Structure 1
């Protein structure tokens, strides 16, 4: 594995590589785990020449203390990347990515995506994400960009960024990797002490409860839901009212000591928050909550009903 610490060195090395395999890029902020390794495996399985970056981006932290506390484990990160077979590690300094200073220099029109969920609770966060990802993409110039579904909204934001800037890259979203007890793998898990680590699985359990409750409603016999008022149409298939379900999940987390930012179910394509769901279009349940001092996020895609 080659390590490049400057843009000039990285570009020089990449320009000298033989033409052939597509270039796959995995941007990270370090504190790597098997979730990151799964992105690398996906890229390698597709025959990609792989570049991985480790850069803790200061412009996406709306809380400076959170930036200072972000885990930094570069020695173990390098070992994981070597074992995963990464071709190039890009390990830049802050001044290398922000040569004119750590400031937001442009505004990205993210529309509705920036107003809900993470956008509402972390103002400015996605502007910082877009800035650093655009800069990294223009430096690396990959064919394919690999990201994890755990950051569901972020993946949608990056897809919007690619469209806005007309970047010639394909976004590949890979499934969430979980620990044996269901906890979504995350760099922030390193900040959990033993007691909080054990209790953190409650978020996954709440997502599973949501999935079960929604499935129970959708399994109701056809015709159990009324037709739209004044339509004269036949009764529709059952639709799940979502507010009682998300309220139950929130209450279960709060009873265990979590400080909940949100428990929501949204359209899987637009992220519009849903009041009910008939199981026909993709949907996703999303949770963000503080467990002690650590803010954890997770999500679960709700599979549409199969047509009979």
Structure 2
């Protein structure tokens, strides 16, 4: 087991196969040794508060690469709501224990903010052909600029061969693919299926902020998406949207922020179904004040 001296207190949570690093220079030295051995490198970027969904990404990365880096960093520039940033769970000890359960060698990079934003905590400006203007982009101004800023920093620092992202944040996944396409080095973005709780609720770090009762009830989100997908086979997008709105209008402790059916590739909201296009239904719901998102293939 190897750990940065700043994180020695986390030693009890680390397996002998895990290396925990907090500094850029130490990380670059470590990656240099891996590159010297001509090893393929996988990256799993996270904001911590890990769950089985994250673990599925790590396991896939381990299966497809010689070495894997998992980053744990709560990125301040992607939170347009300061309260949301403040409430985001920070559970490094639990995260390390979960990663240690995998039983294979993992490098964990858990830097302080100044390690990645040494010239001020600001976002870059990006142009994503409209991918960032709808749904999450419309309701969370600046969110995807913050996401792209930190993801680009990690890509340029770590230079992975493959990077793994969950399809729960499908809009983010498409934006990251666009970002990677414009980088001056080869990088494959791997999208991984949504992992769900037994009631269908998409696994999310935010779920732990819900009461047990609401966490169970929030399975309604996935149930509604599935029915919307079934309806979309015979009904137009307007009718399906009216159905979804009607479901949540009857829920006093859940509030629908948006439901949108969009082209899977361009994220353009559907107006008229095209025979050869793939569509996805996207949803955001507030439950006990906690914002939950999900999506589902509609055809």
- The answer to whether TM tops 0.5 is yes
**What is the SS of the residue equivalent to 1:165?**
coil
Question: Counterpart in 2 of 1:230?
Answer: none
Superposed, 1:113-132 pairs within 5 Å as 113-132=131-150
Match of 1:99 among 118, 131, 135: 118
**What is the SS of the residue equivalent to 1:37?**
helix
Superposed, 1:157-306 pairs within 5 Å as 157-215=175-233, 217=234, 240-257=235-252, 258-303=254-299
Per-residue CA deviation, residues 34-88 of structure 1 (Å, 9 max, x unaligned), is: 0000001111122441100000000000000100000011111001111123520
Moved more, 165-174 or 203-212: 165-174
Distance (whole Å) between structure 1 residues aligned to residue 188 and residue 76 of structure 2:
26
Structure 2 unmatched ranges of 5 or more: 1-17
Distance (whole Å) between structure 2 residues aligned to residue 4 and residue 137 of structure 1:
17
Question: Counterpart in 2 of 1:28?
Answer: 46
Distance (whole Å) between structure 2 residues aligned to residue 107 and residue 278 of structure 1:
33
Superposed, 1:136-151 pairs within 5 Å as 136-151=154-169
In structure 2, relative to structure 1, the CA distance for the partners of 1:196 and 1:205 (3 Å cut) is: same
Question: Counterpart in 2 of 1:235?
Answer: none
Distance (whole Å) between structure 1 residues aligned to residue 83 and residue 167 of structure 2:
26
Aligned-pair CA distance for 1:20: 3.6
Moved more, 50-59 or 76-85: 76-85
Distance (whole Å) between structure 2 residues aligned to residue 214 and residue 86 of structure 1:
45
In structure 2, relative to structure 1, the CA distance for the partners of 1:148 and 1:97 (3 Å cut) is: same
Distance (whole Å) between structure 2 residues aligned to residue 278 and residue 170 of structure 1:
29
Question: Counterpart in 1 of 2:4?
Answer: none
Q: Is the 8 A contact 2:199 2:216 kept in 1?
A: no
Q: Is the 8 A contact 1:33 1:186 kept in 2?
A: yes
Aligned-residue RMSD, C-alpha: 1.3
Distance (whole Å) between structure 2 residues aligned to residue 121 and residue 127 of structure 1:
13
Moved more, 106-115 or 266-275: 106-115
Aligned-pair CA distance for 1:166: 3.6
Question: Counterpart in 2 of 1:15?
Answer: 32
Moved more, 281-290 or 42-51: 42-51
- Structure number with greater Rg is 1
Structure 1 unmatched ranges of 5 or more: 218-239, 304-308
Q: TM-score, normalised by structure 2?
A: 0.90
In structure 2, relative to structure 1, the CA distance for the partners of 1:186 and 1:9 (3 Å cut) is: same
Q: Is the 8 A contact 1:203 1:253 kept in 2?
A: no
Distance (whole Å) between structure 2 residues aligned to residue 2 and residue 47 of structure 1:
17
Match of 1:61 among 79, 104, 110: 79
